[in-house]
Structure 1
Amino acid sequence: MNKRGLTAALLAGLMLAGCGADNSDEGTTSSAVAPQAARQDAAGGAAEEKAAAPAAGQNVPAEAPKLAVDQRSIVYTGSITVRVDDVTAASAQVTGIATGSGGFVSGDERTSGDGSASANIQLRIPADKFTSVVDQLGKLGKEESRGISTEDVTEQVVDLDARIAVQKARVDSGRRLLAEAKSLNDLVMLEREVATRESDLASLEAKKRRLDDLTALSTITVVLLDPAAVRADGDEPTGFLGGLLGGWNALVLSMGVLLTVLGALLPWVLAIGLPAWAVVVAVRRYRRRTAPTTP
Structure 2
Amino acid sequence: MWRRLIGYGREHRGSAGRGRAEGGAAAERAPQQAGGAAPEQAKDTAAQAPDLRIDQRSIIYTGSITVRVKNVNDEAAKVTGIAAGAGGFIGGDERHTGDGSSTATITLRIPADKFSAVVDQIAGIGVEENRGINTQDVTEEVVDLDARIEVQKARVESGKRLLAEAKSLDDLVMLEREVASRESDLASLEAKKRRLSDLTSLSTITVILLGPNATVTDDGDDPAGFLGGLTNGWNALVASLGVLLTVLGALLPWIIALGLPAWAILHLLRRHRRRNTPVVAPAPEISTSTP
Q: Same fold (TM over 0.5)?
A: yes
- Contact 2:16–2:147, Cα closer than 8 Å, also in 1: no
Deviation of residue 113 (structure 1)? Answer: 3.5
Distance in 1 between residues matched to 2:186 and 2:90, nearest whole Å = 32
From 221, 224, 230, the counterpart of 2:206: 221
In structure 1, runs of 5+ residues without a counterpart are 1-51, 236-295
Distance in 1 between residues matched to 2:10 and 2:176, nearest whole Å = 26
Question: When the two structures are superposed, what TM-score results if normalisation uses the length of structure 1?
Answer: 0.59
In structure 2, runs of 5+ residues without a counterpart are 1-8, 22-48, 221-291
SS in 2 for 1:99: helix
Aligned positions, number: 184
Q: Would you say 1:137 and 2:94 are equivalent positions?
A: no
Residue 93 of structure 1 corresponds to 78
Residue 44 of structure 2 corresponds to none
Distance in 1 between residues matched to 2:212 and 2:100, nearest whole Å = 10
One-letter amino acid matched to 2:62: T
- Contact 1:84–1:224, Cα closer than 8 Å, also in 2: yes
Residue 155 of structure 1 corresponds to 140
From 40, 59, 66, the counterpart of 2:16: 59
Q: Which deviations, in whole Å up to 9, do the C-alpha atoms of 1:53-108 show, x marking residues without a partner?
A: 99454433859956211011111111000000000001100000000001111110
SS in 1 for 2:70: coil
Deviation of residue 220 (structure 1)? Answer: 0.3
Residue 265 of structure 1 corresponds to none
Deviation of residue 166 (structure 1)? Answer: 0.3
- Contact 2:101–2:211, Cα closer than 8 Å, also in 1: yes
Q: Would you say 1:122 and 2:107 are equivalent positions?
A: yes
Distance in 2 between residues matched to 1:54 and 1:193, nearest whole Å = 14
One-letter amino acid matched to 1:71: Q
One-letter amino acid matched to 1:59: A
Question: When the two structures are superposed, what TM-score results if normalisation uses the length of structure 2?
Answer: 0.59
One-letter amino acid matched to 2:73: T
From 174, 178, 183, the counterpart of 1:189: 174
Deviation of residue 138 (structure 1)? Answer: 0.3
SS in 2 for 1:60: helix
Deviation of residue 216 (structure 1)? Answer: 0.5
Poorly superposed stretches of 4+, deviation over 3 Å: 52-66
- Contact 1:108–1:119, Cα closer than 8 Å, also in 2: yes
Residue 156 of structure 2 corresponds to 171
Q: Which deviations, in whole Å up to 9, do the C-alpha atoms of 1:203-243 show, x marking residues without a partner?
A: 000000011111101000000000111113249xxxxxxxx
One-letter amino acid matched to 1:145: N
Distance in 2 between residues matched to 1:157 and 1:53, nearest whole Å = 24
One-letter amino acid matched to 1:85: K
% same residue: 68
Distance in 2 between residues matched to 1:85 and 1:58, nearest whole Å = 56
Q: Would you say 1:200 and 2:185 are equivalent positions?
A: yes
- Contact 1:87–1:224, Cα closer than 8 Å, also in 2: yes
One-letter amino acid matched to 2:176: E
Distance in 2 between residues matched to 1:68 and 1:195, nearest whole Å = 38
Aligned ranges 1:1-295 → 2 under 5 Å: 55=12, 57-60=14-17, 65=50, 67-113=52-98, 115-234=100-219
- Contact 1:58–1:162, Cα closer than 8 Å, also in 2: no
Q: What is the root-mean-square deviation in Å for CA atoms of aligned residues?
A: 2.3
